[in-house]
Amino acid sequence: MQPLPRGRHGLSREFIAEHQRERLLAAIARSLDANGYECTTVAAIAAAAGVSKSDFYRHFESKDACFFAAYDEAVERLRAEMVNACEGRPGWAEGVCAGLAAALSGLAANPSQANLLLVEGLRAGPGVYGRFQAAVESFVPRLRDGAPQGAPAGGPSEATDEAVVGGIASLLARRVLAGETRHLDRFFPEVAEFALAPYLGVAEARRIISAR
């Protein structure tokens, strides 16, 4: 995001403030990705966003406050992308596939957001991993609701729903750490199979995935 023009520009105060805030949120994500949490200082975030330190403090009271805001927005953005992709799909399985595909390509297209969501979410301490956990868990009902009942072996248990979502998050985090963020969408077939197979059986899961 580019800094706004300086001097007289006729832009409203609210517009400028919102724009600065967005730039700060993008800047903290980039800085975390490049330098890690410890080295990401308020000064570095402000400089990367092209605002002054005092502007930073007009928006956030601390680095952590900025971090939490960036995290929450990243979760919401990903969720919105997934929900939009699911909408209008003919069935549960197609919806899950569309949501997963959207999530993977969204993360692949934006590595600093992927790092923020999947890596920093677990690393940065209590304030954030509560958010990470809530974000991951919020996807569990999306998977569970509408899933066919009485699937193979009487249907998966509640722990399976959670383990499927947690397992996918863990796999993606490891791929991000391995520097494969740009190629996350390549993992679509296996991630989708992993998500669908407990409910539909492997054969049916593969049929649906290859029909896409």
Contact residues: another protein, CB under 8 A: 36, 38, 122-126, 129, 133, 136, 152-153, 156-160, 162-171, 173-174, 177, 187, 189-191, 193-194, 197-198, 201-203, 206
Smaller CB distance to another protein: residue 26 or 168?
Answer: 168
Smaller CB distance to another protein: residue 105 or 160?
Answer: 160
Angle between helices 158-177 and 188-200 (to 10 degrees): 170
- Least distance in angstroms from the C-beta of 18 to another protein: 31
Smaller CB distance to another protein: residue 65 or 177?
Answer: 177
Buried b (16+ CB within 10 A) or exposed e, 167-197: ebbebbbebbeeeebeebbebbeebbbbbbb
Angle between helices 92-109 and 202-211 (to 10 degrees): 60
Map residue 70 onto helix, strand or coil: helix
Smaller CB distance to another protein: residue 146 or 166?
Answer: 166
- Least distance in angstroms from the C-beta of 14 to another protein: 36
